[in-house]
Amino acid sequence: MKFGGTDPIYIQIANYFKKLIHDGVFQKGDAIPSVRDFGSANGVNPNTVARAYEILVNQEIIVSLPKKGYFVNDECKFENAEKDYSPLERKLRTILDEGYSKEEIIDVLNDIKEGDK
């Protein structure tokens, strides 16, 4: 896994696993790497990985089974997962700071949406 951007690493890890699970790389009931294994393989402090996994547990995407590890929740529903809008928010704030109005941004988004039809 490559880390970049301005989001904290634990958020990047949580989003990484959300994507893998959403894309079907990990199926319901599958084990995900242990905190120690993932941290070691990616050069990340285990505490950082544990923090990411805690987010996923709280969002009911994964479950922790003591002395067994972490597994994709059999009841995993992505509507429980809070979407992280901070990267989008930062980009929109930059656009607003450049002088574009909210209405102009909405017009462009509507034009993009119309072009997708």
Residue-by-residue pLDDT tens, the chain, 117 positions: 888 888 899 999 999 999 999 888 999 999 999 999 999 999 999 999 999 999 999 999 999 999 999 999 998 766 545 556 667 778 888 899 999 999 999 999 888 888 775
Same-domain pairing of 30 and 75: yes
85-91 long-range CB contacts below 8 Å, 24 or more apart?
Answer: 86/7, 86/11, 87/5, 87/6, 87/7, 90/6
Query: Containing domain of residue 62, as a range?
Result: 9-80
What is the reported pLDDT for 24?
A: 87
In this prediction the pTM is 0.67
Same-domain pairing of 18 and 73: yes
- What lies within 8 Å, CB to CB, of 102 at 6+ separation is 96
Q: Is residue 2 part of a domain?
A: no
Q: Is residue 4 part of a domain?
A: no
- Tokens representing residue 72 in the block: 């994709």
Total domains in the chain come to: 2
Residue 63 sits in a domain of what CATH number?
1.10.10.10
- What lies within 8 Å, CB to CB, of 113 at 6+ separation is none
Same-domain pairing of 70 and 97: no
